[in-house]
Amino acid sequence: MENRTTKTKIILYIILLAVLILPFMNYCFGFITSKSLSGWKQPEVKPEFSAKEVFSTDFQNQYEKYCNENVGFHNDLVRLRNQVHYSLFNISMNRYVVIGKQGYLYQDLNILDGVLGHDYVGQKVIDEKSEKIKQLQDTIKKEGKYFLVVLAPGKGCYYKEYIPDKYFKLKQNPTNYDEYVKAFTEKGVEFIDYKSYIMSLKDKVKYPLFTKVGIHWNKYCVTLVVDSLVKYFDKIYSDMPKFEVDYSVVDKNVWSDENDNYDNLNLIFHNKKQLLCHPKTEFISNGNNNRPTIITVADSYYWDVCWLRFGADYFQHSQYWYYNNDIYYSDSQEPRKTTDEGFSFDKEIKQADCYMMLFTEATLNGFDRGFVDSLYSYYFKNN
């Protein structure tokens, strides 16, 4: 009996020693590589030794942060901690991810800004922006070009009923979306309101237009939007490619781009099952190589539009200006920034046939990120 007790203690000691030593050994030799965590965070930098920083304790503090982030199995341990909190206590360890009723996930901005209006910019800003857009649209149209504003739906308003009750006890302001729609309508701005369109379909469609665990609209929703955009531009331009859609494809697999909010929780186990429509889409070329070109300034919702090849296959050439900063081209050109040396805003604007802005309700606080002011300067100050 005594020998058995001794053996048990030795085994437990070895296990404890392994638990303590293995992370350090993996940190030193890297014999096991952990899967990287989802989301973005500025990596902690290993500090350089200096007597001044040692005496101020800056060196120690930064080195501690660096070691904590780079200790062996760090990412696996983070996932284990997150899984325990999520599975046992229904707690999100990502401060930007909100767990709603029945397991629906939200970004906090979808609720605080999109639904409660905590980022409301004020009527003066909205009126001034709307007036500039209207002036630009009228001027640009005289050149035979077009400038379209698109408002996208947000998950916060689409699944408002699953938002935790505590949020509705907070102060509610007018939302930028509601006030922009009013201003655009009053001033005659040409825009497409896909939020109201998608909300009108919510109780009519058989399959959801947002997933439970995603941030953005799903494949079904964005296909409906692209189909609508094609019909809009078909009225302006002739001899354009046809957009063919097969809505009969249904499965229970949540695709990676429809699962981004869940991925940001950084859990061990994955729940990617929900009955969804994943349409098959294709642009049918008619051989027209003189199609218009387009510049689209948009938030991350436009990535899903790009993946359906709206810019690449419908237009002759397209540029996606992500938040009016990073530029992605439909051809093989390397991405660049609008702040890069040698970039010419005037040149790009002059060469494009059409401009479009697409933003969702949670990013409408300064939604154009300066594009309207730059375009206004180009048309009214340079000419």
pLDDT of 167-199, one tens digit each? 999 989 999 999 999 999 999 999 999 999 999
pLDDT at residue 122 greater than cutoff 90: yes
Q: Are residues 266 and 373 in the same domain?
A: yes
Q: How many CA atoms lie within 13 A of 302 on its CB side?
A: 27
Q: Is residue 76 part of a domain?
A: no
Mean per-residue pLDDT for 129-138?
Answer: 97
Residue that finishes a domain, picked among 51, 70, 89: 70
pLDDT interval class at 229 (50, 70, 90): very high
What is the distance, to the nearest Å, from the Cα of residue 135 to the centroid of all Cα atoms in its chain?
Answer: 30
Q: Are residues 232 and 307 in the same domain?
A: yes
Q: Are residues 60 and 194 in the same domain?
A: no
Q: Could you read off the pLDDT of 39-76 as tens digits, one per residue?
A: 766 777 788 888 888 888 888 888 788 877 777 788 88
Of the candidate ranges 72-81, 212-221, 244-253, the one whose mean pLDDT is the lowest: 72-81
3-class secondary structure, 146: strand
Q: Are 25 and 80 in contact (CB under 8 A)?
A: no
pLDDT at residue 1 greater than cutoff 60: no
Q: Are 168 and 175 in contact (CB under 8 A)?
A: no
Q: Are residues 213 and 260 in the same domain?
A: yes
Per DSSP, helices labelled H in the chain are 2-29, 51-55, 58-70, 74-89, 108-112, 123-142, 155-158, 176-187, 194-201, 219-234, 260-263, 302-307, 345-351, 371-380
Q: Is residue 23 part of a domain?
A: yes
Instruction: Enter the pTM of the model.
Output: 0.88
pLDDT interval class at 162 (50, 70, 90): very high
pLDDT interval class at 383 (50, 70, 90): low
Q: Which domain, by its residues, includes 16?
A: 2-70
Q: Are residues 7 and 104 in the same domain?
A: no
Residue type (1 letter), 104: Y
Q: Is residue 227 part of a domain?
A: yes
Which pLDDT does position 271 carry in this prediction? 72
Q: Could you read off the pLDDT of 275-288 as tens digits, one per residue?
A: 999 999 999 998 88
Residue 107: phi, psi to the nearest 5?
-80, 145
Q: Is residue 90 part of a domain?
A: no
Q: Can you tell me the distance from the alpha carbon of 44 to that of 104, in angstroms, rounded to the nearest whole number? A: 32
User: Number of folded domains in the chain?
Assistant: 2
Q: Are residues 8 and 109 in the same domain?
A: no
Q: Are 46 and 63 in contact (CB under 8 A)?
A: yes
Which pLDDT does position 212 carry in this prediction? 95
Q: Are residues 22 and 108 in the same domain?
A: no
pLDDT interval class at 375 (50, 70, 90): very high
Q: Are residues 54 and 113 in the same domain?
A: no
Q: Can you tell me the distance from the alpha carbon of 317 to that of 319, in angstroms, rounded to the nearest whole number? A: 7
Q: Are residues 159 and 34 in the same domain?
A: no
Q: Are residues 29 and 172 in the same domain?
A: no
A 10 A CB-CB count for 339 gives 9
